[in-house]
Amino acid sequence: MSPFEFISVFVSLIVGFALAHILRAVSDLYEIRERVKTYWLNSLWVVTVIMWSIFTWWGLWMLSIDLLEWTYAQYWLIVINISSIYFFTTLVLPKATDEGTIDLESHYFLVHKAFFSVVAFSLFSSAVVNYSLFGQPLIGPMTIMPCIVGCAAIGGALTDSRLYHKCISVFMFIMFIAFQLTDVTIIEYSP
């Protein structure tokens, strides 16, 4: 077993639990859809969070090529980053209840401070991961862009402005799509 295979098992569990949680939440809310008052920002963040989890998993492949030795500090760094993804995934949708109306707009603004704080942390820690584990330059697109978007996420945590939240959510979705489109990772078998 390679060091990457060993590390990736635990990371896989965290990302897998994040995806399972969000997909289960969507399914549960769909089952009681007559009692769910939808909100487009929640829907946009559900899509963004799912893509974020999948892209994170995809991006970790480069560690199998670039990082042949691991330290405990590097392991913790990646676990903390991946755990932040799990945490904001659990915040994006409320739990389905047996009775009453579930207002997704109310839920969004109830949890937005925690949600965007964790998103900002995840983005800043991604910049650190990109620099320290992936060997990206300290001043480069893979470190600067997560920091810029992380600063925008801090704004989302600090403001209740509905206009800001609409703009930042669309901005982060577009940035995430652009980030994925620039990925050139190819996964291939090499014995």
pLDDT tens for residues 163-191?
A: 999 999 999 999 889 888 887 777 777 66
Answer whether residue 123 is part of any domain: yes
Nearest residue to 49 via CA among 108, 81, 107, 92: 92
pLDDT (tens digit per residue) in 122-138: 999 999 988 887 778 88
Give the per-residue pLDDT at 62: 77
Answer whether residue 190 is part of any domain: no
Q: Is the pLDDT of residue 68 over 80?
A: no
Identify the domain containing residue 161 by its residue range: 3-181
Answer whether residue 191 is part of any domain: no
Q: Give the type of residue at 85.
A: I
Identify the burial level of 126 via C-beta atoms within 10 angstroms of its C-beta, where 0-12 means exposed, 13-18 middle and 19 or more buried: buried
Domain count, the chain: 1
Give the per-residue pLDDT at 9: 87
Answer whether residue 80 is part of any domain: yes
Mean pLDDT computed over 16-45: 95
Instruction: Output the average pLDDT for the chain.
Output: 90
> Rounded distance, CA 57 to CA 15, Å?
7
Answer whether residue 147 is part of any domain: yes
Answer whether residue 91 is part of any domain: yes
Answer whether residue 188 is part of any domain: no
Answer whether residue 189 is part of any domain: no
Structure tokens belonging to residue 125? 């820690």
